[in-house]
Amino acid sequence: MFCKLTPAETTRMHQLLRGVADDPHAMEMQQFIQHGTVTTYEHCLRVARIAYWLNLRLHCRAREASLLRGAFLHDFYLYDWHCCHNITRWHGFKHPLVARYNAETVFQLNEAEKNIIQSHMWPLTITWLPRCREAVLVCLADKMSSAWETVMERRAAQPVWRQE
């Protein structure tokens, strides 16, 4: 994807995510597929990277630690939404609250991080508005990442048809 960070920015991002991205509960996200062949863990890390890149390149002055923590935990729901329809019915509408509940159970969250997680599906979840610049950036980054994963990752996995 186009959101390339410098080595120093990548190091800073990993420092700010230490204690969250390497937590055993967060590592469970590696067991679930998000879009195409991308795990929920990979998706959350990509959203964090895009949100961080947007913040730096657009000079948004968001609080970096809250931005990255909220971005990484935005899909911390810990189930496979592709099956188990008795619990995943209306997943798009409900999972932000499940992710927020799970994140609050495992981590100490500030108000910005709670808002990031709960509002990342806006405008689908119309009443849960992004109320800080960090939440707006994550909402945007999530849409960008999801579109990329859904279209480009699947396209890469598809066989190329040859014309004869």
Contact between 34 and 74 under an 8 Å Cβ cutoff? The reply is: no
Give the per-residue pLDDT at 146.
Answer: 82
Give the per-residue pLDDT at 90.
Answer: 61
Q: Please give the radius of gyration of the chain, using alpha carbons only, rounded to the nearest integer.
A: 16
Q: For the chain, which residues score pLDDT lower than 50?
A: 158-164
Give the per-residue pLDDT at 161.
Answer: 43
Q: What is the pLDDT of residues 47-67, one digit of tens each?
A: 999 999 999 999 999 999 999
What's the pTM value of the predicted model, to 2 decimals?
A: 0.84
H helix or E strand, kind and range, residue 114: helix 111-119
Give the per-residue pLDDT at 164.
Answer: 39
Classify domain 7-156 by CATH architecture: Orthogonal Bundle (1.10)
